[in-house]
Structure 1
C-alpha cells in the first residue's frame, strides 16, 4: 500500500489515479488546507477502485502513528505542503512549520514504522534565477523566497537522513510547471489560495470570469520578449511519480531528478495555444516585469529518462485542451 500525503490536491489526486491504474492500493491523507475531498471521490469514480482515506495534518504525530500502525504501508509519496503567490512573503513561519516541520514529523513517523521508501515533492523554485537553460540537477541552488527555502531545507534534511542511515531510499522530484487536467474533465486544479499559474488566468479570461490577462514584462531577452518556462502535463507528472516509485522499490537507492518537458513555452505562446483550443480571444495587457522573475527556465529531464525511462509526452495544446475541458465542465471547481 502507498501512502499519499496531500492526496486531495491537484498533483496528488492525479497521481492517485496513476497509482490505482497500475495496481497500487492507495491510502490517502489530507487536511483540506488547499484541496477538496470531492477530488478523491472522483478518483474512485474514474478508476472504479476504492481509496482508504484519513483527514490528517502531517504535523499531527499521534494521528500519523495510529495510521502507520493500522495499515501495512510499503512506501510514501509526500505532496502535502503549502504554496501561494505572495503569501509566503508575509507568513514565512507558517511555510516553515508545514513544509519543513511537517516533513520532519512525517519522517519520524516513517522511521518508527520502519517504512524506508519515500518520494518527496520538491520544486524547480530552488534553482532561483537559473544561470543557464536547460537546468540540470547539478545547477547551483539559490531559493529566492520562503517557499523555495522551505523546500530546499526539507531536501537538506532528507539528504542528512540518508547519510545517517543508508537503508533509506528517498527520491526527490524537482518539477517545473504542471498544467492540464485529467482527460475525463472530472478532476483538475481548484486552488483555494491565490494561484500563480498563467493557464489558470488564461482559462478565466476565456470563460469570461476576467476581462483580460496581465503579462508582466515583454522586454525579456527571449524571442517574443515574454518569459519562457517549462510546462508539463499533470498526467505526465503523475506517471513520473509512479515510475520513480517503481525504481525505488526495484533498485533500493535514492535520487534527485528534474521532471519537466525539456521544452520552453513563452507567455504569448500559451495565450495563442488557449486561443487555438477554445476558439476564443484572450485579451491581455502588458505591465512591468517582476524583479525576481527569470527570463528562461527550462528543465533538463535526461536523468529521469536514464534512471527510470520517464519523459513527458503531452503537447502544449493537449495541456490547454484538457485544462479547458476541466474548466468548462466544472465552472465552480469541486463546488457543485
Structure 2
C-alpha cells in the first residue's frame, strides 16, 4: 500500500501497485514506474514539470520527491499536487543534504520504493507527453534479467519555454569504452529497469561520484547492460541562471571543456570515476575490468606508453573534437 502524503514522509513501503492499474487504456501496461524527482528551492518551475508528468500517455506511475531542504514554497506546492492527484500518487521525503548527485542516489537506493522501472526527473524541465511510453517500449525490448538504461537527446528551452536548440546528437556506439571518458545522457532523460536499479543499490548511495547520470552510464554499461539511446528528444531541458548543469553543445561549451582539461578538472573527474568503479569491480564484466585496467595503466604511464595503453583500453569520445581533446589530455597528463 502506498503511504499517504504527509509534510515529509520517510521509510514508507511503496510496492509495485500503481494507482491507475485498473484503468482501461490503449497503452500496453508494461509495468509500474517510480518517478524520482529531486528538489531544492524549485518553486519557480516545478509546477510545470509536475503538470507534464500528469499528462503522460503512460498512466502507470507514481512520484517520489526527495527534497534537499528547500526554504521556498517548494514543499507547499508539492502538497497541493498531492491533494490534487491523490495521496497514493505522490510521496515527499527528506534528501541527504549533500548535493543533487547524492540526493538522486539516495532516493534511487531507497529499498522502500519498489517498482518495475525508475525514471529520474529534474525540478525545472518539461516532459513531452509520450516520454514514459517511448522509454518503456524501448526498455521492454531488453531481456528481463539484463540491466537496461534508456536516455537520449533533449530539446533546449529558455526560461519562458521557448525553443533555443537541441543537445548534441551522438551517433557512435554507447558502451563502457565511451563511458570511461564521456557522459552522454542527461539524468533528466534516464529511465531504467529494476535490474539496473539493483546495481545502484549494491554500489550504495554513499559512493563518491562526479554525477549520478555519468555513474549510471558507467555502471550499467560496465556490467554488460544495455544502453538505449534515443535520437529524438522527449524532454524539454530548461536553460536558466540557476541551472546546476547546463547544456554541453556549442562553441562556448567546447572552449569550456578545453579550459577544464588544462586546469586538471577532467583528470580529477576521471580519478573519482575510477575509484568508484574499483570499489564496485565485482559488478563489472570481464571485458570492462580489462578496459578499466588499461585505462588506469595509461593514466599512470608517461610519454608514448601513455598513448599505447590508452589505445589498448579502447576508450573514445563521441565527436572528432572530443577525441582530439582526449589526445591532448593524454599528452598533457590531463586524463
TM-score (norm 2): 0.29
Q: Which has the higher contact order (CA 8 A, sep 6+)?
A: 1
TM-score (norm 1): 0.29
